Amino acid sequence: MDIISHSRAAQVAYLDLLRLHLDETATEIVGSVEERRRNGRTYLYDKYRLGTEMKSRYLGEDTPGLRDRLARAGALKADSDARRTTMARLARVLRAEGLIGTDRATGSLLFAFAKAGVFRLGGTLIGTGAYALYEGELGVRFGSEELAQTGDIDFASFKRLSLALRDRVEQEPGDILQELKFDPVPGVQDRQVWKWRQSRGEAMVEFLKPAFGDESVKPLPALGVSAQALNYLNFLIAEPLHAVALYRSGVLVQIPRPERYAIHKLIVADRRRGGPDQAKSRKDRGQAAFLIEVLAQDRPDDLAQAYEDAQSRGPRWRERIAASLARMPSAKTTLRGLV
């Protein structure tokens, strides 16, 4: 398959827009930065007084980039109007350069979730919704076949992170979804709600979490939702990255790393093979094949590490990956050439 890169101007505009959105998050701090350490990790909070009470708001895991933005919070607040004007201009540049924007239904949902703190509190957009955003992250053009929507908008998070943060979304996703005309779909057995169906459309929103054997429905306290547990998902959403969905002046979200997405799709494709989701299995392999070809050229070390990581996790992981690659000879040759 031919890989067509976006122009240099488009790639620079995307990176600038992402940087400005990250800068914008620092302008929301109102108090002082507080560190909290749990399980060997450091998390940063905005600690402030509200009346006679002390409050705290989760800002993110401690990184040099976040520290730098917080140190510049005062200057960033002063430049807010100019930054937002630039963000709108960059979004127009990206559309003119041919980057595919997010449709209105998905864009309005991501915008509302971002405003409520879903991504700030560890929520990660996965599935085809995330795949479409690799166009900006990788700087390559995606064809209509690669971006064909399944009607699903999926979010995932770690339960242990949700518990550790001790913070909560400012508006629960269930309330947002009902405002956007999505109806809850209770589980058949326990009536827990982890997915919503659009009242006048085909879109389905689902919340997921990693499983380690038992694929049951469990709560995600920080996000205020229940989630369907799935095996292998822990690999996908580890070490996620920020991305900008091209809606309005852009929406800052969190998505899986593309190399993890590619390898995870090999596993998912085999799980779906021969079942009612056979068509999705073919699409999984198509997405994996495209990303593997792009990453093998542009980020071979990242792809090799993700492949070796998945292979090291046990025989069942290796069997599922091998079963998909048996149907993908070109991708199989590419991956084997990296290790």
Measured CA to CA, the distance from residue 128 to residue 149 in angstroms comes to 7
- One-letter amino acid of 223: L
Q: Is the dihedral of CA 224, 110, 176, 31 positive or negative?
A: positive
- Looking at residue 171, what DSSP letter applies? S
pLDDT at 85: 97
pLDDT in tens, 324-337: 999 999 999 999 99
Long-range residue pairs from 84-88, CB within 8 A, at least 24 positions apart, any chain: 84/24, 84/249, 86/16, 86/20, 87/17, 87/20, 87/21, 87/24, 87/249, 87/250, 88/249
pLDDT tens, position by position, 246-288: 999 999 999 999 999 999 999 999 988 766 667 788 889 999 9
pLDDT in tens, 194-225: 899 988 777 889 999 999 888 889 888 878 88
Average pLDDT, the chain: 90
This prediction's pTM: 0.92
Q: Yes or no: say if 263 and 235 are a contact pair by the CB < 8 Å rule.
A: yes
Distances (CA, A) of 150 to 51, 127, 133, 201, 246: 47, 9, 15, 12, 19
All structural domains of the chain with their residue ranges: 8-256, 258-339
Give the model's confidence band at 2: pLDDT under 50 very low, under 70 low, under 90 confident, else very high: confident
What would the 3-class secondary structure string for 25-64 be? Answer: HHCCCCCEEEEEEECCEEEEEEEEEECCEEEEEEEEECCH
Q: Please check the confidence at residue 57 and state whether its pLDDT lies above 90.
A: no
pLDDT at 144 > cutoff 80: no
How many Å apart are CA 125 and CA 138, to the nearest integer? 17
Predicted local distance difference test score (pLDDT) of residue 207: 93
Taking the C-alpha atoms of residue 304 and residue 327, their distance in angstroms, rounded to an integer, is 20
Mean pLDDT within 65-73: 93
270 phi/psi in degrees, rounded to 5? -70, -35
Instruction: Give the span between the Cα atoms of 135 and 3, in whole angstroms.
Output: 11
State percent of the chain over pLDDT 70: 93
Backbone dihedral region for residue 250 (phi beyond 0: left; psi -120 to 50: alpha; all else: beta):
left
